[in-house]
Amino acid sequence: MGAQYDVVIIGSGLGGLVCGYILSKNGYKVIIVEKNHQIGGCLQTFKRKGVKFDTGMHYIGSMQPGQILHSFFSYLNLNKDVTLSPLDPNGFETISLQGRKYYYANGYENFIETLAKSFPKNREEIKEYVKQIRAIADASPINNLQEINNHIIIEPNIIKATVNEFIESITSNKELQNVLIGNLPLYAGVKDKTPIYIHAFIKNFYIQSAYRIVGGSDVIASSLANSIRSFGGEIITSQEVDKIICDSTHATAIQTKEGELITGKFFISNVHPEITMEKIESPLIRKIYKERIKHLENSIGNFTVYIKFKPDSVPYLNSNFYFYEFDDLWETNNYNPEKWPQSYLFMHQCNQKEMTFAESAELSGYMKFDDVREWENTTVGKRGEAYLQFKEEKAERFIKKLNDSFPGIMNNIEYYETSTPLTYRDYTATKEGSMYGILRDTNLPVQTYISQRTKIPNLFLTGQNINTHGILGVMIGSIITCAEFIGLNNIIKDIHIH
């Protein structure tokens, strides 16, 4: 039987959708197969009491004309559908260290001057910090839309240093060190492991400009899906891929739990690599490789409280509020369960372009899978009373802690909902509800830098485990995957045209 499709993509997360867009635009007959009713993976939203909540895409950066994400959005025809609201350019992030507040401002000079007001003696160090993170981000060709003649996506020498080594080389001022890693949860950084390039890409990305997405991140998914369909691509939902069927040399088809058998010439998995490997039975994928992937550490998960405020009760906060009780922010991962939560990120949601009062917010903090492991064999909505009590107790602690920084806010909450790492595991199939997938580790550069290629020549990977996570990381990862089909420089040329 001839293959039905040129490319079968498993999963409709950002990675799957961007690959679907690029390949269908370039004439490939594409189908995307998604297990959930709703497409988008981390771009999914949900509604409670009339309010829409984001689940995994709260703010984005580098969206001014000429900046990198703006170029990608133009290429992907997203600018027409996505409305943005700028965060406060003089303080898009507020870093609260036991109540002492510091601000990240947009624009390199503004960032330096704003932090130098708090650290006047360290002005030159802050300057050097900005210079170095820019240099690291500039060393990545795709980040700068440069055509390249080899496959070096990131210069090997910048994978070698860890974030903490880099920060310590910049300044010995402990408070400034903490402030410079103040939005650590954006990459779930781990001391002595997380490579500096992850920190540098993310900091450089948001320092240039920072925006909330008006009305919810699902608009990114629906815009990409509409474009894919307009190019002749198909997207099917509520079909969970159970097997990637292979003959002795190639992948030939996917089989869903619901009974669909879809044949293709090429396959791309947007699913976590370990889960992808579990779906393959082929002598080409050796057991030792599956075991190696299985034993890689994944980034930490999170607990989130989705809050609806009473009408006109809470003034809109146009800054993301990062709170820490630790003396050393690298301790954030090793929180004491008795004292939890010792850190959190509080973000108001933007429902319309001009906001006076917040309608809703999200309060989010690290949570290890071990904290919810006793319910690991349960599914959404059927985890039992003890789990509901666990979530309720955590939510109460969390809101009380928030109230210390925002006195009286707890009285303005009309309704809340919660999620745990189990929620993410079940909605996106990421390993143990990990936020950003496999943890990049400077000590294991080869093992934790996952290739888009697999041992099966017509099966590729995409998504946040390729390149890095986040909107920029995943879009670049998708370009790297699609380069296998149409060539990296052809894609880069096409981006330049838009």
Ligand X SMILES: Cc1cc2nc3c(=O)[nH]c(=O)nc-3n(C[C@H](O)[C@H](O)[C@H](O)COP(=O)(O)OP(=O)(O)OC[C@H]3O[C@@H](n4cnc5c(N)ncnc54)[C@H](O)[C@@H]3O)c2cc1C
Instruction: Kindly tell me which of 53 and 176 has the beta carbon lying closer to ligand X.
Output: 53
Counted residue by residue, the chain has a size of 498
Does 94 contact ligand X by CB under 6 A?
A: no
Intra-chain end-to-end CA distance of the chain, in Å: 39
Instruction: Kindly tell me which of 206 and 324 has the beta carbon lying closer to ligand X.
Output: 206
Does 271 contact ligand X by CB under 6 A?
A: yes
Does 68 contact ligand X by CB under 6 A?
A: no
Does 302 contact ligand X by CB under 6 A?
A: yes
Stretch of 125-133, 148-156, 423-431, 482-490 contacting ligand X, by CB under 6 A: 423-431
Of positions 7, 10, 154, 479, contacts ligand X by CB under 6 A: 10
Does 15 contact ligand X by CB under 6 A?
A: yes
Sheet holding 360-367, edge to edge: 100-104, 93-97, 320-324, 343-348, 360-367, 301-309, 413-419
Instruction: Kindly tell me which of 176 and 479 has the beta carbon lying closer to ligand X.
Output: 479
Stretch of 158-166, 448-456, 467-475, 487-495 contacting ligand X, by CB under 6 A: 467-475
Stretch of 76-84, 148-156, 228-236, 464-472 contacting ligand X, by CB under 6 A: 464-472
Of positions 13, 233, 341, 421, contacts ligand X by CB under 6 A: 13
Beta partners for residue 40, in sequence order = 13
Of positions 270, 298, 319, 349, contacts ligand X by CB under 6 A: 270
Does 435 contact ligand X by CB under 6 A?
A: yes
Of positions 84, 463, 467, 480, contacts ligand X by CB under 6 A: 463
User: Tokens 């303080």, residue?
Assistant: 91
Instruction: Kindly determine how many residues on this chain lie close enough to bind ligand X according to the rule CB under 6 A.
Output: 35
Binding mask 216-255 for ligand X (x = CB under 6 A): ------------------------xx--------------
Does 130 contact ligand X by CB under 6 A?
A: no
Beta partners for residue 361, in sequence order = 307, 348
Site for ligand X in 472-491 (CB under 6 A): 474
Residue 164 beta carbon to ligand X: minimum distance, rounded to whole angstroms: 22
Of positions 7, 22, 57, 137, contacts ligand X by CB under 6 A: 57
Does 421 contact ligand X by CB under 6 A?
A: no
Q: Please tell me the distance from the alpha carbon of residue 480 to that of residue 337, in angstroms, as a whole number.
A: 40
Residue 327 beta carbon to ligand X: minimum distance, rounded to whole angstroms: 26
Does 60 contact ligand X by CB under 6 A?
A: yes
Query: Which residues contact ligand X (rule: CB under 6 A)?
Result: 10-16, 33-36, 41-42, 56-60, 240-241, 270-271, 302, 424, 428-430, 435-436, 463-464, 469-471, 474
